[in-house]
């Protein structure tokens, strides 16, 4: 959604609180596509700084449908967002007042809330997603979930075929 901030830029001392819903249904990044299972509205506060500067702060919460990096079990990953930044208008003739990172977030005098929230999720999503801190993962031999107990496979002796592949891989790496 585009929120017009003209009155925030133009009126000294002006502040405005506003709730905006998140339209995005799926969060896609280079790591994958994650459906958004739950989302709160974004609660915004806008504050005048100068005629071409405003403070945007707010918070939101989303729950992403992700999976454990080790055992691949589905996880409802909560991501809590709390942000505070300054924005400037990005003028259409290219004579922008703002810094580069406002591009996309600001369109003219309006704030694109979807772009802002996308960037916030990107910065705040956990690097490692685990169902629990000590998840044992799955057996590389039989695929058994090792959190449910040992499967009895000997995982310490590499499969000779795998060893050959490993050698090829290493040889290629050295080239
Ligand atoms: Zn796990
Ligand atoms: Zn196994």
Whole-number Å distance, alpha carbon 170 to ligand 2 midpoint, is: 26
Give residue 109's pLDDT.
94
Ligand closest to CA 135: 1
Per-residue pLDDT reduced to its tens digit, 12-51: 999 999 999 999 999 998 888 999 999 999 999 999 999 9
CA 93 – CA 63 distance, rounded (Å):
38
Whole-number Å distance, alpha carbon 32 to ligand 2 midpoint, is: 27
Give residue 30's pLDDT.
86
Give residue 140's pLDDT.
87
Per-residue pLDDT reduced to its tens digit, 77-134: 999 999 999 999 987 665 555 455 666 899 999 999 999 999 999 999 888 899 999 9
173 pLDDT more than 90: no
Give residue 64's pLDDT.
97
Whole-number Å distance, alpha carbon 74 to ligand 2 midpoint, is: 21
Whole-number Å distance, alpha carbon 130 to ligand 1 midpoint, is: 5
Whole-number Å distance, alpha carbon 155 to ligand 2 midpoint, is: 7
75 pLDDT more than 90: yes
Whole-number Å distance, alpha carbon 155 to ligand 1 midpoint, is: 18
Q: Domain residues of the chain, as ranges?
A: 2-124, 136-175
159 pLDDT more than 80: no
Ligand closest to CA 137: 1
Give residue 87's pLDDT.
94
Whole-number Å distance, alpha carbon 7 to ligand 2 midpoint, is: 64
Whole-number Å distance, alpha carbon 144 to ligand 2 midpoint, is: 5
For residues 154-165, average pLDDT = 64
* Stronger pLDDT, 92 or 69, i.e. the higher one: 69
């Amino acid at each position: 959604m585009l929120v017009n901030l003209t009155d925030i830029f133009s009126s000294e001392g002006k502040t405005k609180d506003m709730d905006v819903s998140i339209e995005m249904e799926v969060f896609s990044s280079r790591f994958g596509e994650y459906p958004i299972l739950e989302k709160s509205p974004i609660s915004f506060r806008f504050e005048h700084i100068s005629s071409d500067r405003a403070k945007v702060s707010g918070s939101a919460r989303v729950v992403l449908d992700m999976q454990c990096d080790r055992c691949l079990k589905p996880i409802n990953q909560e991501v809590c967002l709390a942000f505070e930044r300054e924005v400037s208008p990005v003028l259409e003739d290219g004579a922008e007042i703002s810094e580069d990172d406002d591009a996309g977030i600001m369109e003219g005098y309006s704030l694109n809330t979807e772009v802002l929230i996308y960037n916030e999720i990107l910065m705040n999503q956990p690097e490692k997603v685990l169902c629990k801190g000590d998840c044992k993962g799955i057996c590389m031999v039989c695929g058994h979930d090792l959190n449910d107990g040992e499967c009895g496979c000997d995982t310490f002796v590499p499969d000779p075929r795998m060893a050959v592949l490993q050698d090829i891989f290493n040889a290629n790496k050295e080239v």
